[in-house]
Amino acid sequence: MIVKGVTDEDFLQYQKPSMFIICPWCTFKCDKENGTQICQNRSLAHAKELDIDTELLVKRYLNNNISKAIVFGGLEPMESFDDIMLFLYILRDKYQCKDDVVIYTGFRNDEIEEKISLLSQYKNIIIKFGRFIPNQKPHFDPVLGVDLASNNQYRVRIS
């Protein structure tokens, strides 16, 4: 699995202590739609990529007594979709772990319906949808336990 980084115990991305997996790629659709470089994670594009064995990463999560969920974020997780599906297969099918998995995507639901359909085969998948739009009032999401930056951003438990 190619990542930009992994935080084993993160307390900022979700209401539960989480393993935060920083995904490596993005087309910077928010920048393009806003006509300016606004991505807060743009610097990650230049960070070194790490190739981590997916099963070892799952085991690393399972052996951590603090983290109770997994969060995929960073750049654009849906650009690493095959890696996420393999991670979920190992986590759910091989190790029978039903912990929450949160995916922060800048895509709209209608742009990735096929991927959502594939993800929905697994239980406890939560997706935050929507691109960043500047100069909007943040709103608190009680399920995620975080402020979402734009009023077009929303969370859905897909399964």
pTM higher than 0.85 for the full model?
A: yes
Tens digit of pLDDT for each residue in 85-113?
999 999 999 999 999 999 999 999 999 99
State residue 43's pLDDT score. 72
Average pLDDT (10-17) is 97
State residue 54's pLDDT score. 98
The torsion of the CA quartet 64, 144, 40, 12, rounded to 10 degrees, works out to: -40
Tens digit of pLDDT for each residue in 15-68?
999 999 999 977 666 656 666 666 567 677 778 999 999 999 999 999 999 999
What ranges do the domains of the chain cover?
A: 2-157
Q: How far is CA 27 from the centre of its chain?
A: 16
Residues 6 or more apart in contact with residue 32 via CB below 8 angstroms: none
State residue 80's pLDDT score. 96
